[in-house]
Chains A and B, each alone.
Chain A
Amino acid sequence: MSTPEHSAPLLRMAKRGEMLPAWKAWGIRVIALLLSLVVSGIVIVMVSGLNPAAVFATMFDGAVGTSKRAWVTVRDAMTLLCIAVGLAPAFKMRFWNIGAEGQILVGAIASAACMIYLKNLPTPVLLLVMICASLIAGGVWGFFPGLFKARWNTNETLFTLMMNYIAIQLTSYFVALWENPYGSNSVGVINSQNKQGWLPNLFSSGFNKDFGWNVIIVLTVTVLMYLYMNKSKHGYEIAVIGDSENTARYAGIRVNRAYVRTIILSGAICGLAGFVAVSGASHTISTSTAGGRGFTAIIVAWLAQFNSVVMVIFSFLLVFLQKGAQAIASAYNLSQEVSEMITGIILFFLLGSEFFVNYTVHFNGRRGQR
């Protein structure tokens, strides 16, 4: 009875011999995305008993329904994109920088410090000083795990994780130091009178706040990073190290130096995201200034496979979904956390879809017996 065919497993998986054409790979990802939306829709309908069409209409309205809401969506997408762009080079060389939260926070602290102590500088000078300060702060925060990884192979995932919490406590310290009004345990809006150190409006001078400068800064960084990763010697080294550290060593790439250099760059751009968040968005600082975006951005960078253009799309997608879910929550009296639940579901599906991009599944059904 038991022929070898019978003992073969029902499912057999194999790595695809050649890469799928891009349209097929993206087709799989889009299908996964649609499936995840269906599942999230079912979950929302189950917990709220609402009509799914009405739910999606509310989502749309909440994310881009008015120009103000659309700008907020753009603003948050840009901050997320900036972090993802910063993380991409580190992750591409398989340096697990999960310390973006901390790097954002120290960048934010540096920016806020400049706003508070240097408010007498003329605005353009002040903004430049803030940008430099946030870049340096983030870079320093990245330097330590990079150095230890390069010299002693200290686990960078755990190192950067701890640096997050050190940064959070540091933020609490500065919040207590700068609190305003006294006893509120929050910094309040910094320079609310004369708006020193605030990124100005780009398009309009009216009451409506636009975030044009956020877009310009972040897109500039994105383009520069694209060029750095794809057209420069450093970018090439990063790609080689990411594929195989030994190959890189053999080819004469100074791996340790590349590690430290790349993680400083990565941390610096995350620090810049802290500047964008403080100067361009909230004009204050708290321990939730990073707000988990350092982790979400990892997933953005990873799913986009470090492709800058795709990162723009994913950043918008995620922020759109979050804003939409928050709109559902407030419209139907649900908790705001529904957005994190939905984000989680969608990301699970997208992560799972990568398998079907890289592997084929053979069914050993009747055909196997023939």
Chain B
Amino acid sequence: MITQDQLLALINSAIAFGTVIMLGAIGEILIEKAGNLNLGIPGIMYLGGIGGMIAAFYYELRGGQSPVTGLILSLICSMLFAALGGLIYAFLTITLRANQNVTGLTLTIFGGGVANFFGASLNTLAGGVGQISVPITSSAYIAYTKLGYIGTLGKLLFAHGFMAYLAIVLAIAMRYFLNRTRTGLNLRAVGENPGTADAAGINVTKYKYLSITVGAAIAGLGGLFYTMDYIKGTWANDGTIEGLGWLAVALVIFATWKPINAIWGSYLFGFVYWAYLYIPGLSRRTLELFKMLPYLITLIVLIIVSLRKKRENQPPASLGLSYFREER
């Protein structure tokens, strides 16, 4: 059996892992609820990650010493990069009515290219030492209060960087926004049936643009959390963010488009992802099969949801379709 310390370590890595994909998934839920299937989430998370990295890197290169300034700069820059990526997607799919899936995939290619290109260029700027690092800014992301050192419960609940809590707050706020506010209901109407929403006087184009840009900015935070907290303010061109981005897309399905489900769903993904470390006697081969589990679980959920056909668990009705008023 695994010891209490091991279990604690496992849960904590599950929470860290879960936070990355939770942020991505919350952004994507907002986008999908307005009827846009954005397969560019991995690219957007890449953009968010490199945006924060660039800001922090230049700040520290110019001799910046304050963790808080670094944090604010990187946070703003990250959301800006990600929102710009979302804006490209929005312009192509809404105004130019390009196909959503194809545009999203292109955004993923583009975002990964931009991020890894600048990641490598920063490395050259830093003197080509192999790895770039922004310890000062990163320390602000990683820091937690003294409560995080006290007892098992403290280590479990309080030993995380602030973005882990921000993600939960965002998820709850997203649920409130989508279910309890007029704007949120309008947005869902756009996603279910844009023709009807348009007839009711809702500005479909505006809602779609806003949901995509804001959703992208939120999803970009997932990339930021990954670079600043999860891998402690470094950058590696290893394609991990892309894999996490696809998991975020999967999590949206797993959560059946509900932000609250995304919270526990993301931790479950993280738990399953890291559990192999704590199972004795796994050979390297079986370990690879074990890592299949998050995807298998998502697949099973997808199948069950489509078998049961419960109305409240279905994707938004117009998901993936462009809206053009004159074609109604």
In the bound complex, residues from chain A placing their C-beta under 8 Å from that of B99 are 302, 351
B110 in complex: contacting residue of A164, A176, A344, A352, CB < 8 Å:
A344
Of the listed stretches A113-121, A166-174, A264-272, name the one at the interface; the rest are far from the partner chain: A166-174
Which residues, 265 to 298 on B, are CB-close (under 8 Å) to A?
283-286, 288-289, 291-292, 295-296, 298
> Taking the complex as formed, is B112 at the interface, i.e. its CB lies under 8 A from any CB of chain A?
yes
Which residues, 305 to 324 on B, are CB-close (under 8 Å) to A?
306-307, 315, 320, 324
Q: Is the CB of B303 within 8 A of A154?
A: yes
Q: Is the CB of B97 within 8 A of A296?
A: no
Most buried by A among B39, B99, B288, B298: B288
Nearest chain B CB to A325 CB, angstrom units: 9
In the bound complex, residues from chain B placing their C-beta under 8 Å from that of A163 are 299
B302 in complex: contacting residue of A154, A176, A336, A338, CB < 8 Å:
A154
In the bound complex, residues from chain B placing their C-beta under 8 Å from that of A177 are 285
In the bound complex, residues from chain A placing their C-beta under 8 Å from that of B105 are 98, 295, 298-299
CA distance A157 to B39 in the complex (A): 10
CA distance A206 to B91 in the complex (A): 53
CA distance A359 to B97 in the complex (A): 10
> Taking the complex as formed, is B31 at the interface, i.e. its CB lies under 8 A from any CB of chain A?
no
CB contact under 8 A between A159 and B302, given known A173-B289, A340-B110, A344-B109: yes
CA distance A351 to B40 in the complex (A): 14
> Taking the complex as formed, is A47 at the interface, i.e. its CB lies under 8 A from any CB of chain B?
yes
B109 in complex: contacting residue of A169, A347, A354, CB < 8 Å:
A347
Q: Is the CB of B92 within 8 A of A348?
A: yes
The proximity string for B residues 79-110 relative to A, scoring 1 for CB distances below 8 Å and 0 otherwise, is 00000000010011001111101110111111
CA distance A164 to B285 in the complex (A): 18
> Taking the complex as formed, is B237 at the interface, i.e. its CB lies under 8 A from any CB of chain A?
yes
Nearest chain B CB to A9 CB, angstrom units: 11
In the bound complex, residues from chain A placing their C-beta under 8 Å from that of B284 are 176
Which residues, 108 to 142 on B, are CB-close (under 8 Å) to A?
108-117, 119-121, 124
The proximity string for A residues 328-349 relative to B, scoring 1 for CB distances below 8 Å and 0 otherwise, is 0000011111111111110110
> Taking the complex as formed, is A165 at the interface, i.e. its CB lies under 8 A from any CB of chain B?
yes
A169 in complex: contacting residue of B113, B249, B291, CB < 8 Å:
B291
CB contact under 8 A between A299 and B106, given known A154-B302, A169-B292, A333-B124: yes
In the bound complex, residues from chain B placing their C-beta under 8 Å from that of A96 are 101
> Taking the complex as formed, is A14 at the interface, i.e. its CB lies under 8 A from any CB of chain B?
yes
> Taking the complex as formed, is B250 at the interface, i.e. its CB lies under 8 A from any CB of chain A?
yes
In the bound complex, residues from chain A placing their C-beta under 8 Å from that of B253 are 155, 158
> Taking the complex as formed, is A152 at the interface, i.e. its CB lies under 8 A from any CB of chain B?
yes
> Taking the complex as formed, is B5 at the interface, i.e. its CB lies under 8 A from any CB of chain A?
no
Q: Is the CB of A340 within 8 A of B116?
A: yes
Number of interface residues of B (CB under 8 A): 57
Q: Is the CB of B110 within 8 A of A302?
A: no
Q: Is the CB of B302 within 8 A of A155?
A: yes
CB contact under 8 A between A15 and B326, given known A173-B285, A299-B105: yes
> Taking the complex as formed, is B37 at the interface, i.e. its CB lies under 8 A from any CB of chain A?
yes
> Taking the complex as formed, is A37 at the interface, i.e. its CB lies under 8 A from any CB of chain B?
no
In the bound complex, residues from chain A placing their C-beta under 8 Å from that of B299 are 159, 162-163, 166
Q: Is the CB of B113 within 8 A of A162?
A: no
A295 in complex: contacting residue of B108, B283, B303, CB < 8 Å:
B108
Most buried by B among A148, A166, A172, A335: A335
B102 in complex: contacting residue of A162, A164, A302, A340, CB < 8 Å:
A302
The proximity string for A residues 145-160 relative to B, scoring 1 for CB distances below 8 Å and 0 otherwise, is 0001000111101110
CA distance A120 to B119 in the complex (A): 47
Number of interface residues of A (CB under 8 A): 53
CA distance A292 to B246 in the complex (A): 13
> Taking the complex as formed, is A236 at the interface, i.e. its CB lies under 8 A from any CB of chain B?
no
CA distance A361 to B109 in the complex (A): 30
Q: Is the CB of B295 within 8 A of A158?
A: no
CA distance A295 to B101 in the complex (A): 10
Nearest chain B CB to A167 CB, angstrom units: 9
Nearest chain A CB to B91 CB, angstrom units: 8
Q: Is the CB of B246 within 8 A of A341?
A: no
Nearest chain A CB to B214 CB, angstrom units: 21
Q: Is the CB of B288 within 8 A of A162?
A: no
Q: Is the CB of B306 within 8 A of A153?
A: yes
CA distance A191 to B264 in the complex (A): 48
Q: Is the CB of A170 within 8 A of B124?
A: no
Most buried by B among A166, A298, A334, A337: A337
In the bound complex, residues from chain B placing their C-beta under 8 Å from that of A172 are 288, 291
Q: A residues within 8 Å of B by Cβ?
A: 14-15, 47, 96, 98, 148, 152-155, 157-159, 161-166, 169-170, 172-173, 175-177, 292, 295-296, 298-299, 302, 333-345, 347-348, 351-352, 354-355, 358-359
Closest 10 CB pairs of A and B: A344-B110, A340-B113, A335-B120, A341-B113, A337-B116, A172-B288, A355-B96, A154-B306, A169-B292, A165-B295
14 contacting pairs across A/B (C-beta < 8 A): A15-B326, A98-B105, A162-B295, A166-B295, A173-B289, A292-B109, A295-B105, A302-B99, A342-B113, A344-B114, A348-B103, A348-B106, A351-B96, A355-B95
Known interface pairs A159-B299, A338-B117, A344-B109; 18 further A-B residue pairs with C-beta atoms within 8 A, sorted by A's residue number:
A15-B327, A47-B121, A154-B306, A158-B249, A173-B285, A298-B102, A333-B124, A334-B117, A337-B112, A337-B119, A340-B113, A340-B117, A345-B110, A347-B106, A347-B109, A354-B96, A354-B98, A358-B97
